[in-house]
Chains A and B, each alone.
Chain A
Amino acid sequence: MFAPPEVLLLEDDLQELSALEAIVRGLSLEPVTASGPRQALARLDHHRPLLAVIDLDMSRAPAAERRTGVHDVLRRLHARHLNCIPLVFSAGVETIDDQARVYESHPHALFQSKRHGLPRLLQRIESLLGGRVGDLALRRGVVEHVPSGRTINHRVAVTLVAARRANRSVVLRDSDARAARRFGDWLDEVGSTVLVRALGGRHYQLAPREPAPGDGR
């Protein structure tokens, strides 16, 4: 059975949380919601989200939720969920100093200002989880080889495509490294312009296939 990729949503405004949830479901992804940092940490004990959309301002969260902070969530993501892309969606990321504070908790965080509203956030999520890498497209949580129309839904394949969209590498354990190699074989089989590249130290990344000299491409 195919389980769609999960997206952690940390938002203390329940109306906004439900709007975010609708956006994520609309992309055929599975929302994992949290209305406070403590709840988010508990969710991360049992879920492996591909993307985390995080609000920095937790002033509306119940006091019990605020015993831990958003930065604890970011630090947890950085320490234990390296392949999760954190997207900080907040009014508090307008200045470089704001962004530097987030950087200190998670150096790979991406930023999306709330000032630009939900439509822009939707575009950003779509560009990360719905964009193309070479002749591959990530559509509704599935990797599609566009020219042949063939699809693969293994989470490692999905993670590699999403990571490439965010200019990141993916860190894999042995069993998942095997899945990455199988994905590489699949890319060869469909004649994709993209390959899986082992960077060393268990890091993997999708890369464009270099044309051989003189092949006219």
Chain B
Amino acid sequence: MIARMRQAALRTLLVVSERPHPWAFLRDRLDPDLVTVAWARPADAGRSGTPWMLAGAGADAAALAGFRDRLLCWRWVGPPPANLPAPAASCRDWHQLAADVERALAVRVAGVRLAPGCGLVLPDGSYLPRAAGLEALLAAHPDGLALGPPTARLRDAGRRAAELLRRHGLPLRVAWDAGRLALTEDAGVRPA
């Protein structure tokens, strides 16, 4: 019955820290229905699949360069290191970060919200799978995802997210603005 897993299927918060305590804290606090909490030491973090959100601490971010082209939310406890692939929202401690993640998991824009496990629940109650970019954008609403230099791959990811919105007739747009990629609601259109 079992096939080999290529990447995590469920929405994942990757905790990057030398010690496992933040992982255990977040694992026990966050709703396991909505997010799986994974852990990697800074040196090993590059081997992980692309998470929905990455939360780190410390000064070592060299192994995270592989996430440069991916749409994901970045959070950092304490001052973020200079070589992070994208600007991270800084949190004072893991408690503040947990509260921030809880808020991100609960975001609802134009009737769209995160589905349990992964994917999105659309305003009509239908389920939209394979929408990792939109999941990250939704979590970052309203500020949007702060991105590094816009590479071709990042632009493609933004286009794919915009195309999904269009194909499903959702009253949302993907907008680039000052190094950020954000979901914006179409003016004058109300969700179904």
Please give the residue numbers on chain A whose beta carbons come within 8 Å of chain B beta carbons, in ascending order.
48, 79-83, 96-97, 99-100, 103, 107, 155-156, 159, 167-169, 171-173, 176, 197-203, 205, 207-208, 210-213
Interchain nearest-CB distance for A43 vs B (Å): 16
* Nearest residue, chain A, Cβ from B115: A207
Q: Tally B residues with Cβ within 8 Å of A.
A: 32
Once A82-B5, A201-B7, A202-B3 are accepted as A-B contacts, the answer to whether A99 and B127 lie under 8 Å apart by CB is no
* Nearest residue, chain B, Cβ from A180: B1
B127, A107: Cβ atoms under 8 Å?
no
Contact flags (1/0) for B1-40 with A, using CB distance below 8 Å?
1111111011000000000110110000000110010110
Chain B positions within 8 Å of A211 at CB level = 125
B20, A97: Cβ atoms under 8 Å?
yes
Q: Is B117 an interface residue (CB 8 A)?
A: yes
Interchain nearest-CB distance for B62 vs A (Å): 21
Once A167-B33, A167-B36, A171-B2 are accepted as A-B contacts, the answer to whether A201 and B9 lie under 8 Å apart by CB is yes
Q: Quick one: which of B107-125 are within 8 Å of A by CB?
A: 115-119, 121, 123-125
* Nearest residue, chain B, Cβ from A174: B3
CA distance A4 to B178 in the complex (A): 59
* Nearest residue, chain A, Cβ from B131: A200
Q: Can you list 17 A-B pairs, Cβ within 8 angstroms, ordered by A? A: A80-B2, A82-B5, A83-B2, A100-B23, A107-B39, A156-B1, A171-B5, A172-B1, A176-B1, A198-B129, A201-B6, A202-B3, A205-B116, A208-B116, A212-B125, A213-B123, A213-B192
B38, B39, B119, B125: which contacts A213 (Cβ < 8 A)?
B125
B1, A159: Cβ atoms under 8 Å?
yes
CA distance A171 to B117 in the complex (A): 14
